[in-house]
């Protein structure tokens, strides 16, 4: 260790502090709380100040709650499933207003991972929210009345949807979109924050050259890194669905971009190429949307290695020099520190087990990709999995400890080519990923695939990462797989929720678990904190879902207790949390005999189910967030065709599939569901 290398303390960017002259209230400010009275000595007395449980639930399916609330002038602005905004009195939890954009429920089919929303931006008395069905809406912060609404989708025949939060960047508000698993072309749009007029649009990947000229020189530059005969009709992907951060000092918007679509490079851009600007950090001029610089974390992505994880701006002392940096721990397992003014790569070290690349060459800035990464000919065990070393739950930085707290997923995946071609909207991304150690998710212990590789694990850990020394300071293993985002406070505390329903509070320097509170509901979102009249509060949204909503695992709160969305606010001396009611197990319900089919129908139905239904509905009697189709009531069987083809349950998120399934197809799926149950027949789990 070099004596000249110390993490910057006072230099934490104004975005994270209350000293900012014109605070741009966005999520990035919420992940570090720069003041407060709750400390290691008092944290054991944290109890519930109030709870809000009035979230909109459609049908009987509980959806994930992934948003960190924002508190401005005593009002908490939170979002829940279906892009509904709630304004709550931050002292009492009293609902002041609610804005339900009444989103088209069929858009749930267009998302990889649930009808979630990741929150609002609030500035100058205006609340900005983006909706699942692709609109950006400005609301009066006092009344919740819409001021303007913009359609952000360029092509509504494609599978775009929005689950991310907008960010205010100077005069504009910026929003991305999702659909990188579904055959779309990713882009971000910026709107004048007062009028809602489109200011600019940045396309992450080139479009079909037949469709018209490139939209900008930035797109033309990217095109050089794609096969001219790329599968343009499949969109290319790159959707910047969550990670947007603004630096007011330089009026720069940073976008974290998504994976390629379809997943394998060789299906997307057969001659290869880096495929810019997939899996990249892109710096844009906030006024024009023109690129200042880019850094691609995963050239030629084939592993769903998005760079859509949250990015942190900080000032660090590196090599005796104060550097304005941007930090990200994308899915691919490397922790990147870049000079945010120039894009210069300062460091890139592994924060988890990584086998797709040996290292990142700091001279070229490129990863040294290993043979183990190539699954075009045969199945390969690759670290990290498609879930990434770090997924969307935000990491946080503490200027007091100089450490970044990363929710790390330690798991590899067996990647192989899908036996059937890529199909937008379906469960087929061109490749198949299976967690080797999770039998219920299609796992297998194939000795020949595992030979010579690090032994598979399936673990969630919290890592404290030193971004200057580029190494792990400590690791905590108290949570089950897929837990929540982190937040830090100036008292050196780190808070993180977990799939098992606990809010964990650590000493950020040592990693000691100081206290944990059981709320009985799985937590994905990062907590946040605020102070009113001298009382510090900690808020966290709970409600499991997202990519994990399909199949629950032992140890998760959702296995034992009803997984309804809720928002809890704690203070010193508060009450015991209320635990939700226990889940009551229900038996399989035999289908009415007349829906049985021939063996051939059942076989075809099983295949159709795997392609079209399995993304949400798990196999028989396997606990999960979506309806178990082997437990349908007799009346539901009677309207099966109206549901699958007619869209009868579209409002609740079960869209019509009439565009890809015929009446015969629907009958075959029904015959499969009506056939006597064989265990573990539903196939591999894939994740995005």
302 binds Ca ion (CB under 5 A): no
Site string for Ca ion, 515-544 (x = CB under 5 A): ------------------------------
Place of tokens 């295949």: 607
CB 263 to Ca ion: min, Å:
8
What minimum distance in Å lies between the beta carbon of 648 and Ca ion? 30
Stretch that binds Ca ion, among 176-184, 193-201, 211-219, 352-360 (CB under 5 A): 176-184
Stretch that binds Ca ion, among 129-137, 180-188, 437-445, 602-610 (CB under 5 A): 180-188
Residue 261 C-beta: closest distance to Ca ion, Å: 8
Contacts of 676 (CB under 8 A, 6+ apart): none
Q: Which is nearer to Ca ion, 111 or 612 (CB)?
A: 111
Q: Which residue is nearest to Ca ion (CB)?
A: 688
CA distance 37 to 31: 17
The residues, any chain, with a CB within 8 Å of residue 434's CB and separated by 6 or more, are 413, 414, 416, 441, 442, 443, 444, 684, 685, 686
Structure tokens given for 338 = 């870049």
What span, in angstroms and rounded, lies between the C-alpha atoms of 222 and 362?
A: 22
Min CB(112)–Ca ion separation in Å: 6
Please tell me the total number of residues recorded for the chain in this structure: 688
Kindly state the DSSP code that residue 69 receives in the 8-state scheme.
P
The yes-or-no answer on residue 304 being catalytic is yes
Using the contact rule CB under 5 A, the part of the chain among 177-185, 223-231, 412-420, 512-520 near Ca ion is: 177-185
Which CB sits closer to Ca ion, 180 or 300?
A: 180
Binding mask 594-623 for Ca ion (x = CB under 5 A): ------------------------------
Least CB distance to Ca ion at residue 16 (A): 28
Give least dist CB 309 to Ca ion, A.
12
Query: Under the criterion CB under 5 A, does residue 114 sit at the interface with Ca ion?
Result: no
CB of 176 to Ca ion, least distance (A): 13
Cβ 684 to Ca ion, closest distance in Å? 16
Cα distance between residue 353 and residue 461, in whole Å: 12
Q: Between residue 36 and residue 75, which ones bind Ca ion under the rule CB under 5 A?
A: none
Instruction: Decide: is 688 part of the binding site for Ca ion (CB under 5 A).
Output: yes
Binding piece for Ca ion, criterion CB under 5 A, among 100-108, 195-203, 296-304, 667-675:
296-304
Do residues 412 and 381 touch, judged by C-beta distance below 8 A? yes
Nearest CB to Ca ion, comparing residues 8 and 256: 256
Nearer to Ca ion, 181 or 665 (CB): 181
Per CB under 5 A, contacts with Ca ion among 619-678 are: none
Beta carbon nearer to Ca ion, 111 or 396: 111
Surface-to-core class of residue 42, CB atoms within 10 Å of its CB (0-12 exposed, 13-18 middle, 19+ buried)? middle
Dist. CA 262–CA 422, nearest whole Å: 7
H/E run at residue 539: strand 535-542
Q: 312: which residues sit within 8 A by CB, 6+ positions away?
A: 28, 31, 245, 326, 327, 328, 395, 396, 397, 404
Q: Where are the alpha helices (DSSP H) in 363-507?
A: 447-450
- Gap between the Cα atoms of 341 and 323, Å rounded: 9
Rounded to whole angstroms, the Cα distance separating 430 from 181 reads 10
Which residues lie closer than 8 Å to 354 by C-beta, 6 or more apart?
Answer: 332, 333, 334, 383, 384, 389
> Please, which residue, 417 or 559, has the CB nearer to Ca ion?
417
Q: Which is nearer to Ca ion, 12 or 160 (CB)?
A: 160
**Cα 585 from Cα 452, distance rounded (Å):** 42
Tokens 């196999």 label which residue? Answer: 619
* Shortest CB 120 distance to Ca ion, Å: 24
Please tell me the distance from the alpha carbon of residue 566 to that of residue 568, in angstroms, as a whole number: 7
Contact in structure between 240 and 201 (CB atoms under 8 Å): no
Q: Which entry of 133, 247, 301, 304 is annotated as an active-site residue?
A: 304
DSSP state, residue 297: S
Give the footprint of Ca ion on residues 250-279 (CB under 5 A).
259
Selected range binding Ca ion among 126-134, 137-145, 303-311, 478-486, rule: CB under 5 A: 303-311
Which 70-99 positions form the footprint of Ca ion (CB under 5 A)? none
DSSP code of 665?
H
In the DSSP assignment, the letter for residue 614 is T
Q: Residues 6 or more apart from 452 whose CB is under 8 A from it?
A: none
**Residue 83 CB partners (closer than 8 Å, separation 6+):** 101, 103, 117, 129, 130, 131, 132, 162
**Reduced to 3 states, what is the DSSP secondary structure of residue 560?**
helix
Closest CB to Ca ion among residues 292, 688: 688
Q: How many angstroms separate the CA atoms of 543 and 558, rounded? A: 9
The H-or-E segment that residue 461 falls in is strand 459-466
- Using the rule CB under 5 A, which residue among 66, 218, 274, 304 binds Ca ion? 304
Residues binding Ca ion: what is the number (CB under 5 A)?
4
Residue 170 or 333: the one with the smaller Cβ distance to Ca ion is 333
- Choices 24-32, 178-186, 285-293, 525-533; region in contact with Ca ion by CB under 5 A: 178-186
Query: In degrees rounded to 5, what are phi and psi of residue 201?
Result: -140, 130
3-state helix, strand, coil in the chain (%, to 5): 15, 30, 55
Please report how close the Cβ of residue 277 comes to Ca ion at its closest, in angstroms.
15
Q: How far is the CB of 450 from Ca ion (least distance, A)?
A: 25
Pick the stretch among 1-9, 37-45, 172-180, 326-334 that binds Ca ion (CB under 5 A): 172-180
Q: Which stretch binds Ca ion (CB under 5 A): 175-183, 224-232, 267-275, 478-486?
A: 175-183
Our CB check for Ca ion shows the closer of 180 and 238 to be 180
Binding mask 204-243 for Ca ion (x = CB under 5 A): ----------------------------------------
Q: How far is CA 456 from CA 391, 410, 450, in A?
A: 18, 9, 8
Judged by CB, which is closer to Ca ion: 259, or 601?
259
At 642, list the tokens: 């109206």
Residue 111 vs 563, nearer CB to Ca ion: 111
Supply the minimum distance, in Å, between the C-beta of residue 484 and Ca ion.
19
Rg (CA), the chain: 24
Site for Ca ion, rule CB under 5 A? 180, 259, 304, 688
Residues marked active site are found at 304
């Amino acid at each position: 260790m070099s004596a000249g290398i110390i993490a910057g303390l006072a230099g934490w960017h104004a975005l994270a502090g209350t000293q900012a002259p014109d605070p741009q209230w966005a999520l990035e400010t919420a992940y570090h709380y720069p003041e407060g009275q709750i400390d290691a000595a008092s944290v054991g007395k944290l109890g519930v100040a109030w709870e809000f449980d009035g979230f909109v639930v459609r049908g009987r399916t509980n959806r994930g709650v992934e948003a960190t609330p924002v508190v401005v002038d005593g009002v908490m602005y939170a979002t829940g499933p279906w892009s509904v905004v709630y304004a709550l009195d931050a002292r009492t939890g009293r609902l002041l207003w609610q804005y339900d954009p009444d989103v088209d429920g069929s858009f749930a089919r267009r998302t990889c991972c649930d009808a979630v929303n990741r929150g609002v931006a609030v500035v100058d008395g205006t609340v900005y929210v983006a909706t699942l069905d692709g609109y950006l809406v400005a609301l009066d912060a006092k009344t919740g009345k819409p001021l303007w609404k913009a359609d952000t989708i360029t092509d509504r025949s494609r599978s775009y949807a929005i689950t991310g939060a907008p960010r205010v960047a100077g005069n504009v508000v910026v929003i991305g979109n999702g659909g990188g698993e579904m055959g779309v072309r990713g882009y971000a749009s910026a709107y004048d924050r007062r009028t809602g007029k489109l200011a600019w649009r940045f396309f992450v990947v080139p479009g079909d050259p037949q469709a018209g000229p490139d939209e900008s020189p930035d797109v033309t530059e990217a095109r050089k890194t794609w096969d001219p005969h790329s599968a343009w009709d499949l969109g290319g992907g790159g959707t910047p669905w969550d990670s947007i951060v603004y630096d007011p000092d330089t009026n720069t918007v940073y976008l974290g971009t998504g994976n390629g679509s379809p997943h394998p490079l060789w299906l997307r851009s057969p001659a290869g190429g880096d495929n810019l600007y997939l899996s990249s950090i892109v710096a844009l001029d906030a006024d024009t949307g023109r690129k200042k610089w880019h850094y691609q974390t995963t050239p030629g992505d084939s592993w769903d290695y998005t760079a859509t994880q949250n990015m942190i701006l900080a000032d660090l002392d590196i090599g005796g020099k104060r550097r304005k940096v941007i930090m990200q721990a994308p899915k691919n397992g490397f922790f990147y520190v870049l000079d945010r003014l120039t894009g210069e790569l300062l460091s890139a070290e592994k924060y988890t087990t990584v086998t797709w690349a040996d290292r990142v060459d700091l001279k070229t800035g490129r990863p040294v990709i290993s043979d183990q990464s190539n699954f075009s000919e045969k199945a390969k065990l690759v670290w990290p999995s498609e879930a990434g070393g770090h997924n969307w739950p935000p990491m946080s930085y503490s200027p007091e400890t100089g450490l970044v707290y990363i929710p790390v997923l330690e798991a590899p995946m067996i990647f192989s080519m899908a036996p059937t071609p890529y199909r937008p909207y379906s469960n087929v991304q061109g490749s198949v990923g299976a967690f080797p150690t999770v039998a219920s998710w299609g796992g297998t212990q194939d000795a020949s695939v595992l030979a010579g590789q690090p032994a598979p694990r399936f673990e969630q850990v919290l890592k404290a990462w030193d971004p200057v020394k580029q190494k792990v300071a400590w690791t905590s293993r108290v949570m089950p797989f897929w837990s929540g985002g982190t937040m830090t406070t100036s008292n050196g505390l780190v808070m993180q929720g977990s799939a098992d329903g606990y809010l964990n509070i650590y000493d950020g320097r040592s990693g000691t678990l100081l206290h944990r509170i059981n709320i009985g509901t799985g937590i994905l979102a990062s907590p946040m904190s605020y102070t009113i009249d001298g009382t510090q509060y900690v808020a966290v949204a709970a409600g499991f879902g997202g990519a994990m909503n399909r199949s629950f695992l032992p140890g998760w709160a959702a296995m034992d207790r009803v997984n309804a969305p809720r928002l809890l606010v704690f203070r010193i001396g508060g009450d015991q949390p209320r635990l939700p009611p226990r889940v009551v197990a229900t038996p399989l319900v035999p289908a009415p005999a007349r829906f049985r089919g021939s063996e051939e129908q059942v076989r075809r139905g099983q295949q159709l189910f795997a392609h079209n239904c399995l993304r949400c509905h798990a196999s028989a009697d396997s606990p999960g967030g979506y309806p178990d189709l082997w437990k349908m009531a007799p009346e539901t069987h009677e309207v099966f065709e109206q549901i699958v083809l007619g869209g009868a349950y579209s409002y609740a998120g079960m869209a019509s599939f009439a565009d890809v399934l015929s009446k015969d197809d629907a009958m075959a799926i029904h015959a499969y569901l009506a056939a006597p149950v064989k265990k573990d027949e539903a196939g591999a789990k894939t994740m995005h």
